[in-house]
Amino acid sequence: MTVNRRDWIKGAGGVALGGFAAASVPAKAAVPVGRKISLPDRANYRFEGIHMNAAYVHPMGTHTAEAARSWLEARMTDPARNWPFENARDHAVELYARLINAAPGEIAVVPSTLEGENLIAAGLGLGPRRGVVSDSLHYDAALALYGELAKRGMPLKVLAPRNHKIDYDELDKAITSETKLVAVSHVSSWTGFKHDLKRVCEIAHAKGALVYADVIQSVGAIPFDVKESGIDFCCAGMYKWLQGEFGAAFLYVRPDRLKLLKRTQIGWRGLESYQPHFMPFNPPGPPEGSWVLGTTTAKMFEVSTTNWGGLATTVGALQYLLDIGIDEIARHRAPMLDRLQDELPRAGWAAWTPRDFQGPSNVFSRPDAKERYKAPLEAARIYTTLYDQRIRISPSVHNSMEDIDKLLTILTS
């Protein structure tokens, strides 16, 4: 049977779309649910060398690769499958919801983390008398977003860090009656500083402001609970600590905040139903048709065809993370980060990541970082984020203290 998009949306007699997500057929996880995985887990990763660059892009493990192969195999062998109805979207969202202690209905799939932040900014109608407070440690493109809105009259205050931290007394003073949103990165990609999101939310909410957090540098690496933090909105792409693929992200909206957001984009994913009026046997009506818009988080923010392949792939990755447990992942990493904090400052590196506000990565600086260490790190096949004057080290589930020792041998020489 041939099915076109109009038929998907409506069907011959005005079929409702409310069951689109519910009708999805979950993809099976590539990793057996609940299996015991010991850390460090090197067996499930096929790359050579030492990878400590998960804050940039996480290596793909066999659990993720198997989910990707299953997706591609189905695309090759089952061309008649009704993919908008039968895909891994709901399964991926359910697994991610478990990871952050949310309900699946509170999450929408969007193209990227920054796309999610743009959608929240637009949905809140930021502009004159509806401003933003942020800080210099937030993602650079997000700061550019708010800077461009400031050029159009939106109040904007960006706090500079003090001793590599954000002062919460300064944050409190910066929020005024014109502040609609406080926007931060949970963990800064610049320095590894980790916000106390619960404290940020307490400060902002007490003054009537909402809080958005970019959580791509934290979710999947360290424990994060949307209810405990009180966060209003957050978003994370799949390809860093979530160990998934590029091209999709999870946007969380606290359910009682959904009514504060206006719909800014319309697409077939947002429709509950559509009824044309020009085809044979259609009821009379306007030439543009008649429709009903959905009101859930997904119906508000999922505009068109999502990245079914990326979602299918990330099912294997998310199940893997849940099987290990984020608490266990954080415990495994902690002594490695402590060792870096102990040893590198003694060798002339300045620590930019405050130990009492430390996420899953550490940043250190020295004037000759890239010039002096790029070649030896490449020769040893050790992968980090290395800039001219700083290095970011982000170990993950496949790393061990032996890896840290090999890195330190180079960086302290």
Tell me the average pLDDT of the chain: 92
364 φ, ψ to 5°? -130, 155
Distance CA 277, CA 236 (A): 41
**165: three-class secondary structure by DSSP:** strand
The pLDDT of residue 33: 53
Q: What is the pLDDT of residues 313-350, one digit of tens each?
A: 999 999 999 999 999 999 999 999 999 999 999 999 99
Q: In terms of pLDDT, which residue wins out, 384 or 15?
A: 384
The pLDDT of residue 36: 79
Which residue spans of the chain are classified as CATH 3.90.1150.10?
Answer: 326-411
Question: How many CA within 13 A on the CB side of residue 50?
Answer: 23
The pLDDT of residue 276: 97
Q: What is the pLDDT of residues 378-412, one digit of tens each?
A: 999 999 999 999 999 999 999 999 999 999 999 99
**pLDDT above 90 coverage of the chain, percent:** 90
| 250 neighbors 114 (Cβ within 8 angstroms) | no
Which DSSP category does 392 fall into? E
Distance CA 198, CA 204 (A): 10
246 class by beta-carbon count within 10 Å (0-12 exposed, 13-18 middle, 19+ buried): middle
Q: In terms of pLDDT, which residue wins out, 389 or 25?
A: 389
Q: What is the pLDDT of residues 273-306, one digit of tens each?
A: 999 999 999 999 999 999 999 999 999 999 999 9
Distance CA 328, CA 309 (A): 29
| 58 neighbors 396 (Cβ within 8 angstroms) | yes
| 352 neighbors 164 (Cβ within 8 angstroms) | yes
The pLDDT of residue 29: 39
Tabulate helix, strand, coil % of the chain (nearest 5). Answer: 40, 20, 45
Q: What is the CATH number of domain 89-268+293-322?
A: 3.40.640.10
**pLDDT above 70 coverage of the chain, percent:** 92
Question: How many CA within 13 A on the CB side of residue 268?
Answer: 15
The pLDDT of residue 161: 98
Which residue spans of the chain are classified as CATH 3.40.640.10?
Answer: 89-268+293-322
Q: What is the pLDDT of residues 221-234, one digit of tens each?
A: 999 999 999 999 99
| 269 neighbors 301 (Cβ within 8 angstroms) | no
The pLDDT of residue 209: 98
pTM for the whole structure:
0.91
Within 8 A by CB and 6+ apart from 30, the residues are: 62, 63, 64, 65, 66, 67, 70, 315, 316, 319
Which DSSP category does 160 fall into? P
The pLDDT of residue 275: 97
Q: In terms of pLDDT, which residue wins out, 25 or 167?
A: 167
| 186 neighbors 221 (Cβ within 8 angstroms) | no
On whether the 326-411 domain is CATH 3.90.1150.10, my answer is: yes
